[in-house]
Amino acid sequence: MTDSLAIIEQIHKSFDLKDFNSLAIPAKAEFFCSIDSVSQLQQALVYAMQQNLKITTISGGSNLVLAADVSGLVLHINLKGVSTSTMLDNTVDISVAAGENWHDFVTLCLNNGWHGLENLALIPGNMGAAPIQNIGAYGVELSHFLQSVDVVNVETGQPEVLTDEDCDFGYRTSVFKQSALDKYVITGVNLRLSTQSVTHVSYPALADLLQGVEPTPKIVFDTVCQLRRSKLPDPKEIPNVGSFFKNPIVSKQQADQLMATYPEIPMFPQKGDFTKLAAAWLIEHCGFKGSRHGKVGVHHKQALVLVNFEGNGEDILLLAENIKTQVAEKFAVELEVEPRIYGHTH
């Protein structure tokens, strides 16, 4: 009984989420609780079930749009800790709690000589969100290193472990966005990295900058940071969620038709008969780059980034819808929003 009383004392009503989302959207949580341990999470789930409250989990808040106030109980996952286990065959197994900052962890790995994640430097957000998105950049994806994900089952309150296969990773997606949407709260991620110097530098933008250079993991890390800083605004300075749209994947036939009309369109061949297009190029060629729409806009250096100048979630979503419509009309390509949208619009 004391457990549930303890959790009730830590639950806040009508809690402002502005500081908990990187778009700095002013929206309120009906109920809010910060979670520092798995047992606290289990107590909160029991409380939510007893009170018949919907659960919404947030962590770094860098991949969500608050369309309006969020009903139910918002859980801010703040679990901390990094531990390593066996080192075999030049690898190290690392367990990372869901509330750890992603870039700080990548930096820690580099400093300890645990390699593989350098291309994913400076991606905003916390560890718990990384497998949901299967975050990736410059030719590397999290799924290349992930062994398993520690979760708590929302319905049973029991801890479970999902293997790499269970997670069903794809391009910027996973089981957590599909069949297991809202079924689990991620509490930790288990990775296997190399203790030998490995680098992945085949991605064109990276390869260009590293021409004639013998790339070390530190050089790759620094170059990725330089690339990201040159293109993407810091959310602390200009509120944003990074890439707002996924790069669309179309049939090779459609890609060839586009190429005939727009010879300069960037294309990336995919497995099977598919081609990935650069969403930023499509948006820019509809005239949105650097444009302002009331209290929101599109960043002047990167057309994939929507920015907030004191607007709200509805303003951002209206702009996104406008971009999607114009890209569809001009190129017959359907853009898909990357961040998750929370809150009901009135």
Query: Of the listed 59, 143, 174, 243, which one is catalytic?
Result: 243
By CB atoms closer than 10 A (0-12, 13-18, 19+), residue 193 is: buried
Burial profile 6-18: b = 16 or more Cβ within 10 angstroms, e = fewer: ebeeebeeebebe
Query: Of the listed 100, 118, 141, 338, which one is catalytic?
Result: 338
Place of tokens 């598919």: 274
By CB atoms closer than 10 A (0-12, 13-18, 19+), residue 19 is: exposed
Whether the CB-CB separation of 282 and 261 falls below 8 Å is answered with no
36 vs 99, 126, 157, CA distance in Å? 9, 14, 16
170 vs 104, 133, 167, 174, 334, CA distance in Å? 25, 9, 9, 6, 18
Query: Of the listed 172, 194, 284, 314, which one is catalytic?
Result: 172
Does 62 participate in catalysis according to the annotation? no
Does 172 participate in catalysis according to the annotation? yes
Does 284 participate in catalysis according to the annotation? no
Which tokens in the block code for residue 80?
């901390």
Q: Which residues are catalytic?
A: 172, 243, 338
